[in-house]
């Protein structure tokens, strides 16, 4: 029992304790509260896996509630994208989707109750006046001259704010807490403001909108949430969360904070991701280089890999930075299990097998995935002329180069051993073809040639090769902390080589790939048939290389 307890993370410990003491009558009910002002990113994925995962673990429920209290930035298309991403990650929310805006009437009523209890007031101060009288963490603030307004006047003004009688910025409602409190969030925080914006759901019904802290805790309370899990920066908001709920003597969920996911080489602020989209640095929110869930999906990441990563990194109470290679590791692990191995030559060099009969084609049987024999095998055409990778040949190779060079041999994967006898150069000195001979009795599976070949090369038969577009994606930023520089914008750290588009030579079966199908291009990496372009022409996105080439480069 104690040993088992030790391996629980701190949130699980709280859950188990609450279940034991019956704090929430044995219920676990979490929520995931995205603001529909952008697409979800890998940080949100972490929060989704945590909130939905922990509820599953304790037979609980998770609400999907959109925090739509800021009408100017929120859009229906973001709501749709967020729903799609959560479902794709493999989670189901409780009942219907919910919106903070569902509670606008109730929240308005709560504000009235606070005013009636003398716990909130209408303040005519300007934003500048409010900011300049807030004080500092070490010096108390100054009470607003409107703080002592009587209840009747407050109610009247609040109603007229709602009716749209006043201009934006001319009045706010503030909770009456404590202008000298060391916690700045308790210095009479604003709970309602005037905003004459069109809301994506309530239209023009409202001229006032609740502030995040006000709407969030009350929404949790209304929904009967037990554990309101959020990121560390909200720890200092917790006293306000608690104060607001207690001020009206409402059902009281427990707010719990954990360290947000930070990844090196990655930015996660939605505002900055939007900038990348708007300035055309990427093709959209789902560009395969984006750290968004939709971008990762299009790149070929799987929900299993993302969930494995999210659970693997655990939950921490202190800020930390996770190495992106950990995410890539989870992706490789899963793709290694599920993908067929196929042959695609990215940088082709022609090979003529001079002793192979002209015009003949042989069908070779090749196993789809050695990790999963049940995935079967397929037929692959072999002929006298094939492509291999240009860098699998060296004119003057060092001793340890186990691929082709003059007089050297290699095995063609699933086919024969060949020896390179000669090469052809054009006028500019570029190698244009190799002349090789093959050993007919060296066929894979029935090799009795007695010849040893250390290198195994992938290849594609030239008369059967299909042209496919391949997008070699790499990290979007070439700096570990692109938004961690005081004097420089993250835009200055864009990796100029984050996308390299080429035409590759693929084995014929690649034309059957359906959007989203995933492959291991032998010796080259994992690739995914592009979701958007597959209908017009075959495009394969590089999901991840076979090995972590960045880690190696850094060690040098
Ligand atoms: P951003 O800072 O990227 O704009 P946000 O926190 O404003 O994100 P929300 O839509 O409010 O975005 O986030 C929804 C939920 O996702 C919140 O509960 C938030 O705590 C959580 N979340 C956001 N970013 C991360 C992250 N990097 N790690 C873990 N959880 C996160
Ligand atoms: Mg937020």
- Reported as type and span, the H/E element at residue 348 is strand 348-353
> pLDDT digits over 353-399, tens only?
999 999 999 999 999 999 999 999 999 999 999 999 999 999 999 99
- Residue 4 — very low, low, confident or very high, per pLDDT cuts 50/70/90? low
Structural domain for 323, as ranges: 270-337+468-555
Whether 538 is in a domain gets the answer yes
- Are residue 318 and residue 411 in the same domain, yes or no? no
pLDDT at 550: 64
- Are residue 443 and residue 401 in the same domain, yes or no? yes
- Are residue 373 and residue 283 in the same domain, yes or no? no
Residue-by-residue DSSP string for 26-93: T--EEEE---SSS--BHHHHHHHHHHHHHHHHTT-EEEEEE----GGG--HHHHHHHHHHHHHHT---
Whether 16 is in a domain gets the answer yes
Question: Angle 303-313/76-89 helices, nearest 10 degrees?
Answer: 80
Among 237, 258, 279, the domain-final residue is 258
- Are residue 323 and residue 436 in the same domain, yes or no? no
For ligand 1, atom 16, the nearest C-alpha belongs to 44
Whether 1 is in a domain gets the answer no
For ligand 1, atom 13, the nearest C-alpha belongs to 34
pLDDT at 120: 98
- Are residue 87 and residue 229 in the same domain, yes or no? yes
CA–centroid distance, residue 67 to ligand 2 (Å)? 8
CATH number for the domain harbouring residue 177? 3.40.50.620
Whether 507 is in a domain gets the answer yes
- Are residue 81 and residue 205 in the same domain, yes or no? yes
pLDDT at 7: 86
Evaluated on CA atoms 525, 529, 532, 538, the torsion sign reads: positive
- Kindly report the pTM of this predicted structure: 0.94
Among 212, 236, 258, the domain-final residue is 258
Whether 161 is in a domain gets the answer yes
For ligand 1, atom 23, the nearest C-alpha belongs to 44
Mutate to test the pocket of ligand 1, among 34, 64, 228 (most ligand atoms within 8 A of CB): 34
Whether 2 is in a domain gets the answer no
Residues having CB closer than 6 A to ligand 1 are: 33-35, 43-44, 46-47, 67, 230-231, 260-261, 268-270
Task: Show Cβ contacts of residue 546 under 8 Å, excluding neighbours closer than 6 positions.
Answer: 332, 520, 523, 524, 525, 526
- Are residue 42 and residue 138 in the same domain, yes or no? yes
Q: What would the mean pLDDT of 297-318 be, rounded to a whole number?
A: 96
Q: Indicate which atom in ligand 1 lies nearest the CA of residue 231.
A: 20
- Reported as type and span, the H/E element at residue 435 is strand 431-438
Residues serving a catalytic function are: 35, 260, 270
Residue-by-residue DSSP string for 144-203: -TTTT--HHHHHHHHHHHHHT-S-TTS-EEEE---TT-SSGGGSS-EEEEE----BTTTB
Query: CA-to-CA distance for 181 and 138, rounded, in angstroms?
Result: 10
Q: Indicate which atom in ligand 1 lies nearest the CA of residue 46.
A: 29
> pLDDT digits over 40-79, tens only?
999 999 999 999 999 999 999 999 999 999 998 888 999 9
For ligand 1, atom 2, the nearest C-alpha belongs to 269
Evaluated on CA atoms 434, 439, 444, 450, the torsion sign reads: negative
How many domains in the chain? 3
Among 194, 224, 258, the domain-final residue is 258
- Residue 1 — very low, low, confident or very high, per pLDDT cuts 50/70/90? very low
């Amino acid at each position: 029992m104690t040993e088992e307890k030790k391996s629980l993370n701190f949130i699980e410990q709280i859950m188990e304790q609450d279940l034991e003491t019956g704090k929430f009558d044995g219920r676990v009910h979490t929520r995931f509260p995205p603001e529909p002002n952008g697409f979800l990113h890998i940080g949100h994925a972490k929060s989704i896996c945590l909130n939905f995962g922990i509820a599953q673990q304790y037979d609980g429920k998770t609400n999907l509630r959109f925090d739509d209290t800021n009408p100017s930035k929120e859009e229906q298309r973001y709501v749709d994208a967020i729903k799609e991403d959560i479902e794709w990650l493999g989670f189901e929310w409780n009942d219907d989707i919910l919106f903070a805006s569902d509670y606008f009437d109730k929240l308005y009523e709560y504000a009235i109750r606070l005013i009636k209890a003398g716990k909130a007031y209408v303040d005519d101060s300007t934003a500048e006046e409010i900011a300049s009288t807030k004080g500092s963490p070490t010096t108390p603030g100054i009470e607003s001259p409107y703080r002592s307004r009587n209840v009747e006047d407050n109610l009247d003004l609040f109603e007229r704010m709602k009716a749209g009688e006043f201009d934006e910025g001319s009045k706010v409602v503030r909770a009456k807490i404590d202008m000298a409190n060391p916690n700045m969030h308790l210095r009479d925080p604003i709970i309602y403001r005037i905003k004459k914006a069109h809301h994506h759901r309530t239209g023009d019904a409202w001229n006032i909108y609740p502030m995040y802290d006000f709407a969030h805790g009350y929404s949790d309370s209304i929904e009967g949430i037990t554990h309101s899990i959020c990121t560390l920066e909200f720890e200092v908001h917790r006293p306000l969360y608690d104060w607001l709920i207690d001020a009206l003597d409402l059902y009281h969920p427990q707010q719990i904070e954990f360290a947000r996911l930070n990844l090196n080489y990655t930015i996660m602020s939605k505002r900055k991701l939007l900038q990348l989209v708007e300035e055309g640095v990427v093709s959209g929110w789902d560009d395969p280089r984006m750290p968004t869930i939709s971008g990762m999906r299009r790149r070929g990441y799987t929900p299993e890999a993302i969930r494995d990563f999210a659970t693997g990194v655990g939950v921490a109470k202190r800020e930390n930075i996770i190495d992106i290679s950990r995410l890539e590791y989870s992706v490789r692990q899963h793709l290694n299990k599920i993908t067929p191995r196929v042959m695609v030559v990215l940088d082709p060099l022609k090979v003529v097998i001079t002793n192979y009969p002209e015009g003949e084609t042989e069908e070779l049987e090749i196993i789809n995935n050695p990790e999963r024999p049940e995935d079967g095998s397929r037929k692959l055409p072999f002929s006298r002329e094939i492509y291999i990778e240009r860098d699998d040949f060296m004119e003057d190779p060092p001793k340890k180069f186990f691929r082709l060079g003059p007089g050297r041999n290699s095995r063609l994967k699933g086919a024969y051993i060949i020896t390179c006898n000669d090469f052809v150069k054009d006028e500019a000195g570029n190698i244009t073809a190799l002349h090789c001979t093959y050993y007919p009795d060296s066929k894979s599976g029935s090799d009795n040639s007695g010849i040893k070949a250390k290198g195994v090369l992938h290849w594609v038969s030239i008369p059967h090769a299909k042209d496919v577009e391949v997008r070699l994606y790499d990290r979007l930023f070439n700096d570990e902390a692109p938004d961690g520089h005081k004097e420089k914008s993250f835009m200055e750290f864009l990796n100029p080589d984050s996308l390299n588009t080429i035409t590759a030579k693929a084995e014929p079966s690649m034309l059957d790939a359906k959007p989203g199908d995933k492959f291991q291009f032998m010796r080259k990496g994992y690739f995914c048939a592009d979701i958007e372009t597959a209908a017009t022409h075959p495009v394969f996105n590089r999901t991840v290389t076979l090995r972590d080439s960045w880690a190696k480069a850094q060690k040098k």
